[in-house]
Every structure is written in structure tokens, then in C-alpha cells.
Structure 1
Amino acid sequence: MGSANSSTVDDLQAVEIHHWYKKFMTECPSGQLTLHEFKQFFGIRGLTQEANDYIEQMFRTFDMNKDGYIDFMEYVAALSLVLRGKMEQKLRWYFKLYDVDGNGCIDRHELLNIIKAIQAINGCDQEASAEEFTNRVFDRIDVNGDGELSLEEFVNGAKKDEEFMSMMMDSLDLAHIVAMIHNRRRSV
């Protein structure tokens, strides 16, 4: 019984990966997604500077081998993490995404810019609330009060702060991408 269930899951995953591959190769016939194609792929246009910087940071985070392209394996790894990853894995990935300068800590400026970018992408333009939200996050999860969030503070704090967790999850909601792939699958 267990092996039959396992093969069904494997078959389902194989079918799903095949559809992801078709989508990827349709949108990116070269097999390598550039930053420009990445923005087109996710339907991102007319961004503020903060939002554009955030998207570029997201691209660099997905580009695991740092060659300036996202290949199919990097694409699948990223989507798998976002769609099926365990919470701890997602939080570690978000930390890497938010740690723009790569110094192992997230400072107020980095978080503020990320929050402004997320608001711009989601169509909200509330700079004051972005600053207030950043201050609330630091007040709640910067345990040692040094003005920077370590990986441990970030992960533990996000697990305890529902508002911050919700903002992060909403910032990388790929439901519209999944829906687009399902719609194309039906029309093919």
C-alpha cells in the first residue's frame, strides 16, 4: 500500500515538473532566464526603484550559481521551496533575500526598503506605514537590541509575529503563476 501511494506521488510530481518545464521553455526557449525575462515572466512592469531593487535581489537569490541566469533546475528549486518548502526553509530563504548586502544580518534600512518594495508591487503606497511596520518588527524580534536581525532572531521572530510572517508570505505569493500555468495547460 505504501509503495503504491509513493508511486502515485512520484507520478504526480513528474507530471507537474513536465508542465513546469513546458512553461519554462515556452517563456524562455534558450533555457536560461535573464533578469529582463524574469520580470516579464512574473508580469512585473512599471516598478518603483525599491520594488525594482527587490525583484533584482530576488533574481540574484534564485540564481544559485551566480551566473546571471536562472536555469530550469534553479527555477524548479525556487518554485519547490516557495510552493512546498517547510516553514524553516522558507524563512532561511527570506533571510537571504532580505540580507541585501550579504553580511549575515538584516538592518532597518534593508527591511524598510524590502517592505516599501513589497507595498509597491502589491499596489500600496504607504511610506509612513512601511516605517512604522519596520519599527514594530525590530521592536518585537530584535532580541539583543543591536539594530540588526541575525538569522536566529529573524527565524524565531517571524514564527512568533503573525503580521510579519503574513507580509513575507504575501510578498512571494505565486498563486497567480500557478493559475496561469494551469490555464495554459487546459488550453494546450
Structure 2
Amino acid sequence: DAAEKPDCIGLDRNTFRNILHTTFGMTDDMIMDRVFRAFDRDNDGHVSVTEWVTGLCVFLRGNLEEKMKYCFEAYDLNGDGFISREEMFHMLKNSLLKQPSEEDPDEGIKDLVDITLKKMDYDHDGKLSFADYEQAVRDEGLLLEAFGPCLPDPKKHLEFEAQVFKDPHDL
């Protein structure tokens, strides 16, 4: 019955990804998909106005705790509460530039996953819990986006806010 389910009002996946690309300079398809999922809290395939505003609060102005939760959720591809070795491999393989070389590129990525686990896996269980990730980011802030850029580039962030919040009297 149409009265029970109103038409979905909001941004569909393609429109949302287009905004991420054109406004915030994001180019990684997998990361853009993860950002969409983080914004789409009710998982209905659309980002509603409320979800957009709530998501932007963290995306643009979140404190470290909020940003860590958001990034961890984006990196936890299967939603099981851990970033596994396989998830790290998949994200790093996807986000790193392909270097022409004789060596198997997957080997270099596996080495990078091993290095990452040595650095971030505090309880040595072979995967990252949120506690591991949080401790690693608190020890080294650059690890916040260790598996791909899921927050806006600072320059694009400032351009967006300058455009959205410009004084109408300046037009």
C-alpha cells in the first residue's frame, strides 16, 4: 500500500557517489561505497536528509572518537566488528597505485598487511578490533585513514564549507 511506504526521498548511491567525487575529490570506488553505507544508517539504499546531516556532522566536524568509529566501520567490510587480514589486503590492493615491477604485486601488499598488523594489532590475534584500531590511532594519528581515504581532503572540506556558508550579501 502506497500510504504505508512513502517514496524514498534522498540521495541514491550514484548521486551520493557523484557528490563525494565532485565535491570532496574522492576517487576510490570501494571507499565511496563504504562511505555511502556509513551514511545510509537504515540501509534502505538512500541517504535521507537526516542521514545526510548526521553523516556530514562526523564527516566534516566529528571529533577524533567519532571519526575513529566512522573510519573503522568503513573499513570493517563484512560488519563483524573486526578488520581482518583479508579486508586489509582487499582495501590496500584497491587503494595503492599499481607499480610496474617483475615482482608479484600481491606479495608487496601481503608484506604491507603484515607490517600493519605488527603496528596495530595490540592483542596479537591476527585481526584489528576497534580497541586495537583506537589505540593505534591514538599512538599515531596518521593511521586514522590507514586503509584508504574515507574522510574529505582538508582543502576540499574548506572549499565545501566556504561555498555552503558564504554570506548571501557577498553575491
Q: Would you call these one fold, judging by a TM-score over 0.5?
A: yes
Task: Assess, with a 3 A threshold, how the Cα gap between structure 1 residues 169 and 116 changes in structure 2: closer, same or farther.
Answer: closer
Residue 70 (structure 1) aligned with residue 50 (structure 2):
no
Task: Assess, with a 3 A threshold, how the Cα gap between structure 1 residues 86 and 163 changes in structure 2: closer, same or farther.
Answer: closer
Residue identity in the other structure for 1:32:
G
2:18 corresponding residue in structure 1:
40
Q: Tell me by how many angstroms 1:118 deviates.
A: 3.9
- Given that 2:95 and 2:148 are in contact with CA atoms closer than 8 Å, whether structure 1 keeps it comes out as no
Looking at structure 2, the residues matched to 73 and 174 of structure 1 have their Cα atoms a distance apart, in angstroms, of 23
How big is the alpha-carbon RMSD for the aligned residues of Structure 1 and Structure 2? 3.0
Looking at structure 1, the residues matched to 37 and 145 of structure 2 have their Cα atoms a distance apart, in angstroms, of 23
Looking at structure 1, the residues matched to 112 and 88 of structure 2 have their Cα atoms a distance apart, in angstroms, of 10
| Equivalent residue for 1:139, pick from 118, 123, 144 | 118
- Given that 2:31 and 2:150 are in contact with CA atoms closer than 8 Å, whether structure 1 keeps it comes out as no
Looking at structure 1, the residues matched to 129 and 136 of structure 2 have their Cα atoms a distance apart, in angstroms, of 10
Normalized against structure 1, the TM-score is what? 0.66
Looking at structure 2, the residues matched to 52 and 169 of structure 1 have their Cα atoms a distance apart, in angstroms, of 11
- Given that 2:137 and 2:143 are in contact with CA atoms closer than 8 Å, whether structure 1 keeps it comes out as yes
- Given that 1:54 and 1:117 are in contact with CA atoms closer than 8 Å, whether structure 2 keeps it comes out as no
Q: Tell me by how many angstroms 1:151 deviates.
A: 1.1
Task: Assess, with a 3 A threshold, how the Cα gap between structure 1 residues 107 and 167 changes in structure 2: closer, same or farther.
Answer: closer
Q: Please give the secondary structure, in 2, of the residue aligned with 1:106.
A: strand
Looking at structure 2, the residues matched to 77 and 140 of structure 1 have their Cα atoms a distance apart, in angstroms, of 32
Normalized against structure 2, the TM-score is what? 0.72
Task: Assess, with a 3 A threshold, how the Cα gap between structure 1 residues 177 and 35 changes in structure 2: closer, same or farther.
Answer: farther
Aligned identity (percent) is 21
- Given that 1:42 and 1:177 are in contact with CA atoms closer than 8 Å, whether structure 2 keeps it comes out as no
| Equivalent residue for 1:179, pick from 135, 159, 162 | 159
Residue identity in the other structure for 1:182:
A
Listed as ranges, the matches of 1:93-112 within 5 Å are 93-112=70-89
- Larger helix proportion, structure 1 or 2? 1
- Given that 1:38 and 1:59 are in contact with CA atoms closer than 8 Å, whether structure 2 keeps it comes out as yes
| Equivalent residue for 2:144, pick from 156, 165, 184 | 165
Task: Assess, with a 3 A threshold, how the Cα gap between structure 1 residues 169 and 52 changes in structure 2: closer, same or farther.
Answer: closer
Residue identity in the other structure for 1:40:
N
Q: Please give the secondary structure, in 2, of the residue aligned with 1:42.
A: helix
Looking at structure 2, the residues matched to 169 and 57 of structure 1 have their Cα atoms a distance apart, in angstroms, of 11
- Given that 1:141 and 1:153 are in contact with CA atoms closer than 8 Å, whether structure 2 keeps it comes out as yes
Larger RCO, structure (CA 8 Å, separation 6 or more): 2
Give structure 2 stretches of 5+ with no counterpart: 1-7, 100-104
Residue identity in the other structure for 1:95:
F
